[in-house]
Amino acid sequence: MRLKKKQFLYVRLAGELREKMKNGEIGPGEFLPSEHELCEQYGASRFSVRKALDQLVEEGWIVRRAGQGSKVADRSDAASVRANSLTVFATSPSFYADLGMPLIIEKFEREHPGATVRLLKLPNHAYWDYIRTLGSGEMRPDLLFVTQSQYAAIRQSEAFADLNPIVSQQSNRIYPKLLRHFTEDFAVKAAPVSFSPVVLAYDARLFREYGVPEPASGWTFDDVQHAAELLTRDTNGDGVNDLYGLSFPASVQRWPVFAMQRGRSLRAMLEQPESLRDTLGLLHRLLYRTRTALLLPRGLPHDTHPFFRGKTAMTLTTVLELAGWRSLDRAFEPSIAPLALGPHRGTMLTMNGWMVPKEAPNRRLAETFVKFSLRTDVQEAVARSAGMLSVLKSVNDDAFGRTEAERMGVHDFGLAGCTFLEEELADRRQAEALDREMSLYWLGLESPDELLARLSQAGSGRLL
C-alpha cells in the first residue's frame, strides 16, 4: 500500500498502523514490520517511518524493544507510557519554541524521571485548522503553546481549563497586564510564559566606526533622526546607499509605535484616519525624502535581515527576535536603545502562553508542566540562557538589569504605555484591511494625503 503524498505523511502512516492495531490485525504483544519493511510497504522515507513510530510510542500504542523492534503494547504497557507522556502542539515558527522551550523540557524531564515531552510544531498561519484536524483523531494534545493573536482568534475558550489555580502562586509576581489579557470572566484561559515589547535595537559597531555617539539616557527622536542621517551611507562608492540608519517592517505590529509615541492610539487611527497625518508624513519623509530609513519586506528570513548583515544601524524589532538572532552565527552583539520615536512613551507587546484542553488525555501532567514553567528558577534559566524576557518582573530585573529593563519598557510592573494589538482592535480583520489599504503608500506610490483621502471615504471616516 502506498500513502498519498500529502502534508504530515508520518501522521497518515501512524493512522494506518493504529487502525491495524485497533481492528486486531496486529495484536497486543506482536511486533510491527521493521522500519525497512514499512518504508517499502508504504512508500515512505525512513524519517517519516521513525516519526510515525515515535508518535505511536508517545500515544502508548507500541513499545520499543532494543534489538527486536516495535511491539504492540498490552494494557499495562500502554497505561504506563501514556501516564508519563506529554504531547505539546506549538505554533511555528517561534523563537521561544526553538530556544526557550527545549530548556524547560530538559529541566522538566530531569526533575520528573520517566516523563517524556513530545513537541509538535504547527504552522502559525493555520494553527487552529491543524489543531482541529489532528485533535479529531487519536493524536490529541495535552498542551497548546499559542501567541496572543492565536488566543484572540479562538472562539471556543470554554473548551480550555481555567489555569487560575496553576498560576496563583506566581500571580502577584507576573505582570498583571499579561494575566488580564488571558483572563475571561475571572478564569485564566492561558498562562503567560514569555512576552516581548517592540524595541529599538542598534549595532554599536557601526556607531563607533562612523564616530556617531551611541544612544544614551535622555535620547530624543531628534537624536534618532540625526544618527540615522549620519549612518546612512554609500559604502562601496557606486552612488547607491547600501547602509541605512534605520529600518522597520510595514507591519501593523511595528509601525504604529511611531504613532503611539505621538499620543495616538491605533483604535483612534482607524476611526479617524486624519489622526494618522503626522505619523504618515514622518514615515514618508524618512523612507522617500531623506531616505534615511529602509522598509523591510514581509517574510524576510532572519539570517538575511539587513540588521543582522550589518546593513542597517538601527531597527524596530522584539526581544524575542533579538534572542533568535543571538542564536545564529553573528559578528556582533545587538544592543537596545531607548525607544524615543516621539514625546510620549509607549510600545506594542507580543506574548506566548499555554492552554490546556479540558479533555486533554494527560491534563494533570500538562498542568504540572505549566506550573513548572512559571517557577522562578525556570524562568530565570530561560532569561539568562536564551535572552528572553520572563513574565516575572523580578527575574527581568535580575537577569537584564535596571537600565536594560527601562530601555525595553518592562521596568514598570504595570507595563504603562504598552499595549497589545488585540486591545486596540475589535476584529483582527481591521489590521489586515489597513495593511491592504496602505500597500501603495509603503511602495512610495501614494502620498500621505492620497492615502488619508481614500481611508476617510471608507464608511463615514471608519476603515471598516
223-269: per-residue pLDDT in tens?
999 999 999 999 999 999 999 999 999 988 899 999 999 888 777 77
- Looking at residue 75, its pLDDT comes to 53
Closest to 311 measured CA to CA, from 236, 402, 225: 236
Cβ-contact 114, 84 below 8 angstroms: yes
Tell whether the torsion through CA atoms of 151, 58, 81 and 99 is positive or negative.
Answer: negative
User: What does the pLDDT average to over 73-102?
Assistant: 78
DSSP state for residue 297 in the 8-state scheme:
P
Query: How far is the C-alpha of 54 from the C-alpha of 21, rounded, in Å?
Result: 16
What would the pLDDT profile of 358-411 be if each residue is shown by its tens digit?
999 999 999 999 999 999 999 999 999 999 999 999 999 999 998 999 999 999
Q: What is the pTM of this model?
A: 0.79
Give, rounded to a whole angstrom, the gap between the first and last alpha carbons of the chain: 52
- Looking at residue 72, its pLDDT comes to 87
Cβ neighbours of residue 282 under 8 Å, at least 6 residues apart? 258
Residue 35 has pLDDT above 80, yes or no: yes
Cβ neighbours of residue 412 under 8 Å, at least 6 residues apart? none
The 8 Å CB, 24+ separation contacts for 104-112 are 104/372, 104/373, 104/378, 104/382, 107/372, 107/378, 107/381, 108/369, 108/372, 108/373, 111/372, 112/84, 112/368
Q: If pLDDT is split at 50, 70 and 90, which confidence band does 165 have?
A: very high
- Looking at residue 464, its pLDDT comes to 47
Residue 438 has pLDDT above 70, yes or no: yes
- Looking at residue 118, its pLDDT comes to 87
Mean pLDDT (the chain) is: 87
Higher pLDDT, 140 or 177: 177
What would the pLDDT profile of 126-139 be if each residue is shown by its tens digit?
888 888 877 666 67
Query: How far is the C-alpha of 71 from the C-alpha of 166, rounded, in Å?
Result: 37
- Looking at residue 333, its pLDDT comes to 86
Ordered structural domains, the chain, with CATH = 1-83 (1.10.10.10), 198-346+422-456 (3.40.190.10)
Tell whether the torsion through CA atoms of 128, 158, 252 and 334 is positive or negative.
Answer: negative
Higher pLDDT, 445 or 152: 445
